[in-house]
Amino acid sequence: MKFFFLTKEDNNAKIKRRFSNFPIFQFSNFPIFQFLHNYRRNFSFLILLVLSLTFASCGGGGSGGDDDDGGYAYTITGSGASFTATKEDGAAVGTANQPIQNVINAIRTDAKGKACDIQFDDDVTPLNIGTNYVSFNNTGGGKWGLITLSGKITSNINGGTISIGGTVSVRSTADIANTDSSSNNGDAIYSDSTGALTISGGTLSVTTGIAISNISSGGVTISGGTLSATTGFAIYNNSSGRVTISGGRVSATTGRAIANTYTGTVTVSGGRVEATTGYAVSNDSAYGGVINIAGGTVFATTGCAICIPISGSSGIVNISGGRVEATPGTGYAYYETVEKIKFVRIEK
């Protein structure tokens, strides 16, 4: 018995002969391969040129320290009326010991439109800004990229601790509080932006005010964290914006966990929305607002889990999944003054 072995060279030659008669495999006829052949000595130069252009296109930011997302990271410290922002290398941004809004504007200038991370204080002690507030907007020169908030911040202002305007987008894992109890306007976050607001962690807490007040067409997404209000609202959607809750906890004691009052849409697909003696989900809209319950849990102790309290409301509540519950004998799983609640499955 004879054995025949095809060497590597013979194998390559055989493949070449086999496909040489097919134009599609005559690689040398393609312009790109002719280019690489003619300029192979300069190919390494082309690689270096492409890499250089790539790195150059990633620049253009401020002089702050790079974070993992290619943006810049800043930490704000101070109290009262004197605050300072520093970069990761410890260098001050702008002038030290300034009012809080001056510090915020200095960060915007330094970041030059790039995404940036802003940490309030040392993530242990809340940054107390008193009766001041932080405003993220694109007016007065400069433009924000995506803003990521962390740490802790608190105020005692008849307004929002954090105010967002224009087209600014913010994502947050920060603890944001407003301890004002003199009115119902002491908000944790007040958004008049067409950009996106995403809460994926942290705590937003208010007493008589609103944890998130959305008065524009921007979208709000809650995927984690805790939003709480005592006599106020945890989420107040008074706009055409879309609010999506896929995780976390949204709660009110005697107030309303979620109130939809205009043409916007609120969708609960996960997490827990609850009220003690108040309303967990309230659709007060006379403008056709919609609330969709597709998952998660909506619960009331002695209050109402889902409520349409206004007789002239044109808002609709659609229930297609999740759990809608109330304490037996003391609470209401759902209550409506007009027949606007449509459900496929509901558990009392």
Task: Check which CATH number belongs to the domain holding 187 and give it.
Answer: 2.160.20
144-194, pLDDT tens digit by residue?
Answer: 999 999 999 999 999 999 999 999 999 999 999 999 998 888 999 999 999
Residue 57: pLDDT band with limits 50, 70, 90: very low
**Same domain (yes/no): 150, 34:** no
Q: By the 8 A CB rule, do 110 and 75 touch?
A: no
291-324, pLDDT tens digit by residue?
Answer: 999 999 999 999 899 988 666 667 788 999 999 9
Please name every residue paired with 165 in a beta bridge, in sequence order, or none if there are none: 192
Specify the number of domains making up the chain.
3
Residue 72 lies in a domain: yes
Residue 182 lies in a domain: yes
Q: Checking phi first, is residue 11 left (phi over 0); if not, alpha (psi -120 to 50) or beta?
A: alpha
Output the pLDDT for position 311: 63
**Residue range 85-98: average pLDDT?**
95
CA atoms within 13 A on the CB side of 58: 10
Please name every residue paired with 176 in a beta bridge, in sequence order, or none if there are none: 153, 204
Supply the range of the domain harboring residue 93.
65-155
Q: What's the chain's Rg over C-alpha atoms? A: 29
- The region of weakest confidence among 55-59, 122-126, 341-345 is 55-59
- Cα distance between residue 135 and residue 254, in whole Å: 29
For residues 22 and 111, the model is more confident at 111
Residue 335 pLDDT greater than 80, yes or no: no
**Same domain (yes/no): 235, 296:** yes
248-302, pLDDT tens digit by residue?
Answer: 999 999 999 999 999 999 999 999 999 999 999 998 877 888 999 999 999 999 9
Residue 244 lies in a domain: yes
109-157, pLDDT tens digit by residue?
Answer: 999 999 999 999 987 899 999 999 999 999 988 899 999 999 999 999 9
Domain boundary among 135, 155, 175: 155
- The region of weakest confidence among 8-22, 34-48, 159-173 is 8-22
Output the pLDDT for position 50: 43
- Cα distance between residue 165 and residue 191, in whole Å: 6
- Cα distance between residue 47 and residue 43, in whole Å: 6
Residue 277 lies in a domain: yes
Residue 60 lies in a domain: no
- Cα distance between residue 102 and residue 142, in whole Å: 13
Residue 16 pLDDT greater than 50, yes or no: no
Residue 103 pLDDT greater than 60, yes or no: yes
Domain boundary among 124, 139, 155: 155
- The distance of Cα 250 from the centroid of its chain, to the nearest Å, equals 16
193-224, pLDDT tens digit by residue?
Answer: 999 999 999 999 999 999 999 999 999 999 99
Closest CA to 121 of 93, 145, 154: 154
Q: What is the pTM of this model?
A: 0.79
Spatial neighbors of 144 by CB under 8 A, at least 6 apart, are: 108, 111, 113, 116, 136, 137, 138, 168
Output the pLDDT for position 312: 62
**Residue range 83-107: average pLDDT?**
96
Residue 92 lies in a domain: yes
